[in-house]
Amino acid sequence: MSPLAAGADGLPVGGTVNTEKRCIIMEKSMEKKKEQMIDLHYRSKDGITDIYTCMWLPEGEPRGIIQVIHGMIEHIGRYQYFAEALCDQGYIVVGHDQLGHGRSVLSRNDYGFFSKNDPSDTLIRDIHQLRVNMQKRYPDLPYIMVGHSMGSYLLRKYLVFYGKGLSGAVLLGTGFVDPNLTTVGIGITRVLASFKGWKQRSNLIKMLMYNNSYKGYDMTATDLEKSWLSRDIERVKWAYSDPFCRFSFTLNGYLGLFQTVAFSCREKNIRRIPKMLPLLILSGDKDPVGDLGKGVIRFSRLCDKAGIRNKTMKLYGGARHEILNEIDRDVVYEDLLTWLAKVTK
């Protein structure tokens, strides 16, 4: 989601978000299938926050588990349609609201804030804890992880440390950023925080986030036809009407993001991803996060260079950032389901 789509104070618009109440959009969509959805919580590795988790269960015997890692300034509820489609094919789907997102906050001021210490590593540990919890419940099922946008970069970092034992990994809306640039971003963020504190919401950092690939796209929800998110205007409206998608990152949030992106784009770290892990990379060729396809191709070639042998990469013509919400999403779903059937058989 766009960090420019926030209230004037950089916090969720529409007043204080009630983190104890399920997102209305999610509630309406799941009305007829509530028996499939279970709310869970576990303690974050920050030691103080309860992580909200949602699990969708299929009818009958499950054929595998899909753990979804959401992106920046959104929440797991936005993956309801995706989860329903996977459930229809027999998969258990699970995902959590990451720290500083959705219902995984202590207060309104915590939106866009990860953790006081080691924000990137804390996110990785929270992701892994959910996997551990799920594999205790279902120890014999194939386990696949899906990461979108910021979640894709987190998943790339996760694979370096915990990739062994997975049946596959899917990267959606990913890309490549020169680690030298993100290192500069980390430095600027630290300097600003030394003056203003880690919960400061900085317009300067926000502006530095966008390169030339974003030119021509609407980032402010004022011209939905030119939205960077999708060509499907109804899905764009759905996103921008969600109060959990309307806040700005703190300096701490940007620090965690920059640390993650820098780590995942370093060639020495890409070489540490398990070589035989089935890896699926899907993006739109008009996605600015992937530098209109160029960043995706660069990362894919680095995977080839690293000897990652079981990799598939596809760019969808004309598609923007959220390919699961694009006008040709049926094709994306079909490609994903075909690949999943192969890695879970």
pLDDT in tens, 294-339: 999 999 999 999 999 999 999 999 999 999 999 999 999 999 999 9
Q: Which amino acid is at 8?
A: A
**Percentage of the chain lying above the pLDDT 70 cut:** 90
Q: Say if 7 falls within a structural domain.
A: no
pLDDT score of 24: 32
255 belongs to a structural domain: yes
Residue 172 belongs to some domain of the structure: yes
Cα pseudo-dihedral 29, 31, 36, 38, rounded to 10: 90
What is the tens place of the pLDDT at every residue in 179-195?
999 999 999 999 999 99
Give the pLDDT band (50/70/90) at residue 16: very low
Confidence (pLDDT) at 9:
54
Q: What is the pLDDT of residue 26?
A: 38
Give domain status of residue 19, yes or no: no
Spell out the long-range contacts of 224-227 with Cβ–Cβ below 8 A and sequence spacing 24 or more.
227/320
Which residue from 17, 55, 29, 279 is spatially nearest to 172, judged by alpha carbons? Answer: 279
Length, in residues, of the chain:
345
CATH number of the domain that residue 298 is part of? 3.40.50.1820
* Pairing outcome for strands 91-96 and 64-69: parallel
Work out how many domains the chain is built from and give that number: 1
Across all residues in the chain, what is the average pLDDT?
91
Helix, strand, coil percent values for the chain (each to nearest 5): 45, 15, 40
- Does the pLDDT at position 121 exceed 90? yes
Domain contains 67: yes
Is the predicted pLDDT of residue 171 greater than 60, yes or no?
Answer: yes
Is 130 a member of any domain? yes
The torsion of the CA quartet 261, 267, 269, 274, rounded to 10 degrees, works out to: 120
pLDDT at 58 over 70: yes
User: Which range marks the domain in which residue 333 is found?
Assistant: 24-344
Residue 274: which pLDDT band, with cuts at 50, 70 and 90?
Answer: very high
Find out whether 247 and 111 touch, Cβ atoms under 8 Å: yes
Q: Which of 243, 60, 229, 264 is nearest to 153 (CA)?
A: 264
Query: Which pLDDT band, with edges at 50, 70 and 90, does 7 fall under?
Result: low
pLDDT for residue 6: 56
Beta-ladder partners of 95: 54, 68
* Structure-block tokens of residue 157: 């970092």
Answer yes or no: is 3 within a domain: no
The pTM of the full predicted model, rounded to 2 decimals, is: 0.92
Tell me, yes or no, whether 14 lies in a domain.
no
